[in-house]
Amino acid sequence: MIVQRRAMQGALWVIRHGGHPTFRLYSTRKTLPVLTLYTKEVCPLCDDAKEVLIPYRHRFNLEEVDITKPGNKQWFRQYRYEIPVFHFNGQFLMKHRVDVPALEEALKKWEDSD
């Protein structure tokens, strides 16, 4: 016997095998996009930018990359005088400060895509 229940953005399947139910949760909602912040330990502009992002945090996953850490030499060479720098799903989006219209446009474009 198979029972299906729909809940918000996903589907829950209950399947009986030999009298024991098996639960599987399938999500039809895509994962959130990634906003990458290139930063370093002491960066007041980065701190300011993170404050501006607070109202949008439910719409993306924030990943911080410390350009001064070992293994991030490429980002240090590229962005040492530019931080904060933001990439949206791997593509350059903005630098120096949060460009709210650019962020909103990127988020809307992603949310409207399938």
pLDDT of 49-106, one tens digit each? 999 999 999 999 999 999 999 999 999 999 999 999 999 999 999 999 999 999 999 9
Instruction: Note the pLDDT of residue 14.
Output: 44
Instruction: Note the pLDDT of residue 33.
Output: 98
Instruction: Note the pLDDT of residue 81.
Output: 96
pLDDT band at 5 (very low <50, low <70, confident <90, very high): very low
Structural domains of the chain in order of their starting residue, each with its CATH number: 1-29 (no CATH), 34-112 (3.40.30.10)
Region 13-19 average pLDDT: 49
Strands (E), 1-114: 2-7, 10-17, 20-27, 34-39, 61-66, 85-88, 91-95
